[in-house]
């Protein structure tokens, strides 16, 4: 095990940035040995008060006010990018040029052109580049993927996925960057990227989409008078601006295997604070997951005795992926949460960098995340063409 510390930093001190910061702090508490000591070097945010608070909370050495200070610091080895989507490309390219490993939040970029440029940089990079799809680290979701990939559900017949959230229900919610950027950059880019990736993680690549429809329930929002952190509120003015992207989207998908899927996403689904869920149906079994009940999934398969057939609750425990070695309390029934998945993701990213002997499954690549964006752009094209079938680029 190397004695030389691996130095990490986080650019962005908002909601997801803090999750990355907390994740790096705990990477050596999970799974096996092999990582070097982790130096928590810096948190960067233009909101210096926010950066200072995150650095204090999670034990980082310093807070800085610009991402350039991170890029220019030769002592920093690995960096998470957790800021507005339009800023991902210039930051990632600068970090790669500086020889730093990069973990970028989803969606990969603010535009397909920017994402393609980031993938081009990834191809020639001599550093690890990765994208944060945290739901891949859910023990239950990983277990369902194994059921599907091992053929335990038989030939797949249907995937139904949804990600319903309610953070945009309030018409007085401020017009932050999340409501800018054009069709595909709203609910589709924010929460849709996660359920699209989860669907492909479980069932394989999507090759075409159809029947798409996008809608915006709140077309105008008040302009903020101060900084907006995450999905939070802020004082607003009497002046309003146009919402440029979708609140809700629905579409069908055809997977490479021939499987048909249906998807719906929304940021205006009242009473659903964070409702990712899906059902995977085969000809001889099914599995269902709901993020509001993360310590379990439902499973059903063919059995000789018809009287005892039906959905069975599978409780999370050491028999599921990530649980053994990933939870301090190694006892069944202890549900995981968002924080643990960020720890596992950060650990997987650093495993890739350090070349540990027993690494966690690798993170998604920039190329993987570009594919997700291409699915989203196909959904937009389908909606603009009245629901026509559109191939994924």
Q: Examine residue 295 and state whether it is found in any structural domain, yes or no.
A: yes
pLDDT tens-digit map of 131-152? 999 999 999 999 999 999 999 9
Co-location of 96 and 178 in the same domain: no
For residue 343 the two structure tokens come to 């720890």
Q: What is the pLDDT of residue 342?
A: 96
CA distances to 176, 186, 289 from 222, rounded to whole Å, are 9, 17, 36
H helix or E strand, kind and range, residue 235: none
Residue 91 has pLDDT above 80, yes or no: yes
Q: What is the mean pLDDT of residues 36-59?
A: 96
> How many domains are there within the chain?
2
Co-location of 95 and 189 in the same domain: no
> Out of 40-44, 197-201, 273-277, 378-382, which region has the weakest mean confidence (pLDDT)?
273-277
Q: Count CB-CB contacts under 10 A for residue 114.
A: 21
Q: What is the pLDDT of residue 117?
A: 98
Residue 330 has pLDDT above 80, yes or no: no
Q: What is the pLDDT of residue 319?
A: 86
Co-location of 115 and 147 in the same domain: no
Co-location of 380 and 284 in the same domain: yes
Co-location of 274 and 145 in the same domain: yes
Q: What is the mean pLDDT of residues 146-172?
A: 96
Domain end residue (candidates: 135, 156, 177): 135
> Residue 19 belongs to a domain with what CATH number?
3.40.50.720
> Residue 235 belongs to a domain with what CATH number?
3.30.360.10
**Measured distance CA(234)–CA(221) in Å, rounded:** 12
pLDDT classification of 199: cutoffs 50, 70, 90:
very high
Q: What is the pLDDT of residue 228?
A: 77
Q: Which domain holds residue 107?
A: 6-135
**What predicted TM-score, i.e. pTM, was given to this entire model?**
0.92
Q: Examine residue 338 and state whether it is found in any structural domain, yes or no.
A: no
Q: What is the pLDDT of residue 147?
A: 97
Q: Examine residue 346 and state whether it is found in any structural domain, yes or no.
A: no
Residue 1 has pLDDT above 70, yes or no: no
Domain end residue (candidates: 135, 165, 190): 135
H helix or E strand, kind and range, residue 262: strand 260-266
Domain end residue (candidates: 135, 152, 179): 135
Q: Examine residue 99 and state whether it is found in any structural domain, yes or no.
A: yes
Q: Examine residue 239 and state whether it is found in any structural domain, yes or no.
A: yes
Co-location of 149 and 297 in the same domain: yes
Residue 161 has pLDDT above 80, yes or no: yes
Q: What is the pLDDT of residue 2?
A: 59
Co-location of 269 and 159 in the same domain: yes
Co-location of 208 and 234 in the same domain: yes
Q: What is the mean pLDDT of residues 73-100?
A: 97
Cβ neighbourhood burial of 79 (10 Å; 0-12, 13-18, 19+): buried
**Measured distance CA(287)–CA(282) in Å, rounded:** 9
**Measured distance CA(132)–CA(342) in Å, rounded:** 9
Co-location of 34 and 176 in the same domain: no
Co-location of 67 and 116 in the same domain: yes
Q: Examine residue 279 and state whether it is found in any structural domain, yes or no.
A: yes
Q: Examine residue 353 and state whether it is found in any structural domain, yes or no.
A: no
Q: Examine residue 345 and state whether it is found in any structural domain, yes or no.
A: no
Residue 118 has pLDDT above 80, yes or no: yes
Residue 126 has pLDDT above 70, yes or no: yes
For residue 229 the two structure tokens come to 């952190």
Co-location of 124 and 174 in the same domain: no
Co-location of 178 and 305 in the same domain: yes
pLDDT tens-digit map of 14-44? 989 999 999 999 999 999 998 999 999 999 9
Give the dihedral of Cα atoms 191, 226, 89, 245; nearest 10 deg.
40
């Amino acid at each position: 095990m190397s004695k030389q510390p691996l130095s990490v930093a986080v650019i962005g001190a908002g909601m997801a940035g803090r999750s990355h910061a907390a994740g790096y702090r705990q990477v050596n508490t999970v799974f096996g040995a092999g990582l070097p000591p982790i130096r928590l070097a810096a948190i960067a945010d233009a909101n210096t008060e926010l950066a200072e608070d995150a650095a204090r909370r999670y034990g980082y050495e310093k807070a800085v006010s610009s991402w350039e200070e991170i890029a220019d610091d030769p002592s920093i080895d690995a960096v998470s990018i957790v800021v507005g989507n339009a800023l991902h490309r210039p930051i990632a390219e600068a970090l790669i040029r500086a020889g730093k490993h990069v973990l970028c939040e989803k969606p990969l970029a603010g535009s397909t052109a920017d994402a393609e440029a980031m993938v081009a940089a990834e191809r020639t990079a001599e550093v690890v580049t990765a994208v944060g799809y945290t739901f891949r680290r859910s023990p239950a979701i990983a277990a369902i993927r194994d059921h599907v990939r091992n053929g335990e559900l038989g030939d797949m017949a249907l995937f139904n996925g949804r990600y319903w959230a309610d953070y945009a229900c309030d018409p007085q919610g401020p017009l932050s960057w999340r409501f800018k950027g054009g069709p595909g950059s709203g609910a589709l880019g924010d929460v849709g990227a996660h359920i699209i990736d989860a669907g492909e993680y479980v069932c394989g690549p999507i090759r075409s989409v159809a029947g798409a429809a996008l809608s915006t329930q709140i077309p105008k929002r008040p302009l903020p008078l101060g900084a907006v952190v995450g999905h939070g509120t802020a004082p607003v003015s009497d002046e309003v601006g146009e919402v440029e992207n979708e609140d809700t989207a629905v579409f069908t998908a055809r997977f490479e295997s021939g499987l048909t899927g249906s998807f719906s996403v929304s940021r205006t689904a009242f009473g659903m604070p964070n409702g990712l869920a899906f059902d995977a149906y085969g000809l001889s079994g099914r599995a269902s997951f709901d993020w509001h009940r993360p310590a379990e999934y439902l499973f059903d398969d063919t059995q000789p005795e018809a009287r005892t057939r039906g959905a069975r609750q599978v409780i999370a425990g050491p028999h599921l992926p990530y649980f053994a070695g990933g939870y301090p309390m190694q006892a069944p029934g202890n549900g995981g949460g968002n924080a643990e998945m960020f720890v596992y993701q950060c650990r997987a990213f650093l495993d890739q960098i350090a070349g540990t002997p027993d690494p966690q499954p690798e993170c998604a690549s920039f190329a993987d995340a570009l594919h997700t964006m291409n699915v989203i752009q196909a959904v937009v094209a389908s909606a603009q063409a009245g629901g026509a079938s559109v191939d994924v680029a």
